[in-house]
Amino acid sequence: MNPMRHAILAVVIGAALAACATAGVYDDVTAWWHLDWADSGAITTSAQASNEIRDQRRWGDNVGYKATGVNGTPEWTNVGVPELGPAGGRTLGGRALVLDDSVGSEGFEVNNLSVTNDATLLTRIKWDGSIAHGGAATVYSNGFGWSADKGWMLRIVGTGQPQFYHGKGRTITASGLTLTPDTWYDLAVVLDENDANDTITFYRGSAGGVVEIAENIVDSFNGEVNSTTTRVGYEGGNYKYFGGQLENIALWDRALSANEVLEALTAPQAIWEVGIDNGTSDDMAGEWLTDADYYLGDPWGQMRRAVTASADEIRVHFDLTAEQAEHSFLFSFEPFYSRTFDISLNDVLIGSYTSTANSVFELELPWTLHLMGETDNVLELRYTEGSQWMSYDWQKLEMLDDQAPEPATLSLLGFGALALVRRRRR
């Protein structure tokens, strides 16, 4: 094995927040668990797991990947879950799944998912420092079978270092990227199978937006798997389980580039975002399954995916920080049909519009409207064309990079001039 190459990149979180970063790298993600489904408490049955631990790119029962079994009694928490991840990406649900190794091999299983050959795994994680039976804390197991000499795992060893374990006893340890217990990290591993020049690259995002990279060139990685079984939080049986918290996990069936990994670590930057740009409205529940009101932090499945004549509005409720409230915003969504609709903000009509099918609709909401405060903001879409529905793939609200001028500057410019200024995103 060639010597490991080690480099450091920095992402300035403040700049990332002000920019309008997209989540495009997630458009082709194989599975993406936000682990933000339940409000609180323990998961007690497999039936609950199929709904509570699910790949939230899709809502329908027959699409996406969801837990087919749960070990132990893992619990949900929103205590100490950061609004921003260590590398700068926002958390989408504000919750995490707590796995406690003191009560056995807690975790969940997905028995119809594995990836072969190239792959990328990314997770936001807080390890409690424990090492279970077997000398490692397993975060993720992809079709692993030791006796079959196939599959791979991402785990943490006693030194606190991430380790990639594959086949029958082969390991690659991320030297220099030690995880401190009870500390949040963004952690990724990229597997690029290329004959004798296989590359295993670790990324660790830590507080302050610093991303460190440890790259290994090996000639032994085989991307074959032993089964179509994914396990999160344990290897198998009562063995090598993980203790701590998991906020999200994303898996790709390809090797992301360094720039794509950094994009994934710092996305999304939206104030709120519902759905993923994947060409399906199944991200959200059917219009007959929920009421018209969605509260920021609720699971995506509680968001309407369509506006109909019988339920003709969607309202998103959200709060802002004082700093956010001083910015302009961009609201956008992608509908499947050409329809007419109204947009209102805090019960004030912004305007009436007609969408274009399968095209992104964008509308800037300038600070000059003086309509948004720090609490109890409501953005409403209202259907205005009878007997037909408007269905959409995703919608989001982003903070633009320009702030309101100071009051003295405002008085000089005048309201009429300001209302015509179109602010540009970085």
224 and 356 inside one domain: no
392 and 328 inside one domain: yes
CATH number of the domain bearing residue 298: 2.60.120.260
Q: Is residue 386 part of a domain?
A: yes
Domain stops at, among 265, 299, 318: 265
DSSP state letter for 146: T
| Number of domains forming the structure of the chain | 2
The two counts, helices (H) then strands (E), for the chain are 6, 27
CATH number of the domain bearing residue 92: 2.60.120.200
10 and 156 inside one domain: yes
Q: Is residue 109 part of a domain?
A: yes
CB-count burial class (<10 Å; 0-12, 13-18, 19+) for 116? middle
Q: Is residue 425 part of a domain?
A: no
Q: What pLDDT score was predicted for residue 167?
A: 85
- Nearest-angstrom CA–CA distance, 133 and 171: 17
For residue 15, give the H/E element and its range.
helix 13-18
What does residue 370 show for φ and ψ, rounded to 5 degrees? 50, 40
Q: Output Rg (C-alpha) for the chain, integer angstroms.
A: 23
Residues 93 and 246 sit within 8 Å (Cβ to Cβ)? no
131 and 96 inside one domain: yes
For residue 407, give the H/E element and its range.
helix 407-413
357 and 246 inside one domain: no
153 and 9 inside one domain: yes
Residue where the block lists tokens 């790709």: 252
242 and 339 inside one domain: no
Q: What pLDDT score was predicted for residue 253?
A: 95
Q: Is residue 51 part of a domain?
A: yes
Distance of CA 43 to the CA centre of its chain: 21
97 and 43 inside one domain: yes
Consecutive sets of 10 residues in the chain, 426 residues long: mean pLDDT of each?
42 34 72 72 54 69 76 84 86 82 83 93 95 86 90 94 90 92 97 86 92 87 89 80 93 95 86 80 80 81 84 90 84 92 93 93 84 90 84 87 42 27 27
Tokens of 97: 């799944």
Helix (H, G, I), strand (E, B) or coil at 112: coil
Q: What pLDDT score was predicted for residue 41?
A: 58
- End-to-end Cα distance, the chain: 42
Identity of residue 172:
I
Q: How many CB atoms within 10 Å of residue 414?
A: 9
Residues written for the chain: 426
Residues 344 and 351 sit within 8 Å (Cβ to Cβ)? no
Domain stops at, among 210, 234, 265: 265
Q: Is residue 374 part of a domain?
A: yes
35 and 171 inside one domain: yes
- Nearest-angstrom CA–CA distance, 3 and 144: 26
Q: Is residue 53 part of a domain?
A: yes
188 and 286 inside one domain: no
Q: Is residue 270 part of a domain?
A: no
* Residues of the domain holding 227: 5-265
CA 366 vs CA 131, 401, 422: distances in Å: 51, 11, 8
Domain stops at, among 205, 237, 265: 265
- Nearest-angstrom CA–CA distance, 385 and 366: 27
Which segments within 336-376 are labelled E, that is strand?
340-345, 348-354, 361-365
Q: What pLDDT score was predicted for residue 387?
A: 75
221 and 121 inside one domain: yes
Which segments within 100-209 are labelled E, that is strand?
107-110, 119-127, 136-145, 150-157, 162-166, 170-173, 184-192, 198-206
- Nearest-angstrom CA–CA distance, 367 and 345: 12
288 and 210 inside one domain: no
What does residue 10 show for φ and ψ, rounded to 5 degrees? -120, 135
Q: Is residue 11 part of a domain?
A: yes
